[in-house]
Amino acid sequence: MTLYDETLTLLQELIRNACVNDLTPDSGQEIRNAESLERFFEGTPNVKITKLEPHPGRTSIIVTVPGSDPDAEPLTLLGHTDVVPVDLPKWTKDPFGAEISDGQIWGRGSVDMLFITATQAAVTRQVAREGGLRGTLTFVGVADEEARGGLGAKWLSEEHQNLFSWKNCLSESGGSHLPVHDGSDAVVINVGEKGAAQRRIHVNGDAGHGSIPFDRDSAIVKIGEVARRIAAADLKVAKDDIWQGFVQAHRFDPETEQALLSGTSPEAYAEFGGLSRFAHAVSHLTIAQTVVRAGQAINVLPSHAYLELDIRTLPGQTNDYVDDTLRAALGDLADEVEIEHLISEEATVSPTDSRLYNTLEKVLGDFFPDAPVVPIISSGGSDLRFGRRLGGVGYGFAVHARERTLAEAMGQLHSHDEALYLEDLELTVRGYDSVVREFLG
């Protein structure tokens, strides 16, 4: 079997194991994929295998291929093994059947991110079979990424930090293409991700009987006004090099480019087409109002209400910055609310002048010689942030065919009828094999 064939067979097994993470501790059961991966490496020389389980069934597997030179740079491949739930009636294929048709493999996790996980495992096994390289190569099949890593990468980075190197890490996603305005090509590498600054805004009002509402201070009216003011908040456009490079890579006309870089015209985001929402997200602090709660009985005026905000921060935007932004938006209501902090994690970004980034850039250049490589940040999260917090660099890497735009790749994430083109799997296998040998060899 070729390396691609081995990868495809493994990918089908990982999809069929249906390690669905619904964000509860007993879900996921990534032990099924960990055991599949352990069998995949069974009998392979030159590997050390470790399995860890912070909660029954929530298993991560670590496979290490020692390098011949202890001073050589190491490389760690972080592939998560859990997937998100499915809305079964919305699927036209079996979400866990791993069916191959129309040049694609269908199934939950085929794109996010089991095709990369399977690729990383297969390339690691091939390197081990050959006796290893100069630098140490580690593959980690990580549990619980879809629930922010509390039983996976976060736990590993806190409780077992020294089991493998976090210095140079690769994970999801990257390698898709930008719809450049003049019809030329550009290919992306994920170098960072936005942070989280979740908030719960509390307000109080007068309790009372629903039949006598006159002259009451209504918690519901107040929380509605809080929501209205936050929706109208003045959120400034990013001024960093990554946003500037992303805009310039599209080769818009000078007027559109200037409007996007200066933030003077929200309407200019329409020029990104299918990427308009993503482009806005990675150029602003975003505040999504997602949950509101007040009252229990229809005949009782509630004395308390709250609004939950899913806030995503750009690099450099601190908790204080977020709270100041909310207070400024609330104006004279700011003194009447309590701002409760929920999950807060700062944004993380890796440099574009590291040896690993340069290797990725070179490999992508071999696939797409005329396409500039464009660093981007993700609007969501990945396990790479834990390595960055420990002082390492981390990049999202894959290789997609020229026809696969960034918008199309993102559109498959957590979607109904999630599917990966087999051409992209073959390209990603070749890409990872090249990167590992270039970086470690």
Which tokens go with 119? 């690729």
Domain 3-180+348-440 shares a fold with domain 194-345: no
**According to CATH, what is the number of the domain 194-345?**
3.30.70.360
Average pLDDT for 332-337: 96
Q: Residue 15: in which H helix or E strand, if any?
A: helix 3-16
Question: What pLDDT score was predicted for residue 136?
Answer: 98
CA atoms of 56 and 31, how far apart (whole Å): 9
Average pLDDT across the chain, whole number: 96
Q: What average pLDDT score do residues 234-247 get? A: 95
What's residue 264's pLDDT? 86
H helix or E strand, kind and range, residue 33: helix 31-41
Q: What is the pLDDT of residue 381?
A: 87
What does 228-297 look like in DSSP terms, one character per residue?
A: HHHHT---PPP-SHHHHHHHHHTT--HHHHHHHHHT--GGGGGGGGGGHHHHHHTTS-EEEEEEEEE-SS
Res 435: pLDDT: 98
Q: What is the pLDDT of residue 412?
A: 81
CATH class of 3-180+348-440: alpha beta
| Residue 97 pLDDT greater than 90, yes or no | yes
- Please report the pLDDT score of residue 163 as a whole number: 96
Confidence category of residue 395, pLDDT binned at 50, 70, 90: very high
The pLDDT of residue 265: 87
| Residue 127 pLDDT | 98
Q: In the beta sheet, which residues pair with residue 77? A: 139, 170
Residue 134's pLDDT band, with cuts at 50, 70 and 90, is: very high
Q: Grade residue 296 by pLDDT with cuts at 50, 70 and 90.
A: very high
Q: What is the mean pLDDT of residues 229-254?
A: 95
Beta pairing class for 208-209 and 300-301: antiparallel
d(CA 219, CA 225): 10
pLDDT at 380: 86
Q: Are strands 187-193 and 373-378 parallel, antiparallel or unpaired?
A: parallel
Residues 402-409, mean pLDDT to the nearest whole number: 92
SS3 147: helix
pLDDT tens digits, 28-66: 999 999 999 999 999 999 999 999 999 999 999 999 999
Residue 69 pLDDT > 90: yes
Per-residue confidence (pLDDT) for residue 172, from 0 to 100 = 94
Give the pLDDT confidence score for residue 410 in this predicted structure.
Answer: 86
What percent of the chain lies above the pLDDT cut of 70? 100
Structural domain spans, the chain:
3-180+348-440, 194-345
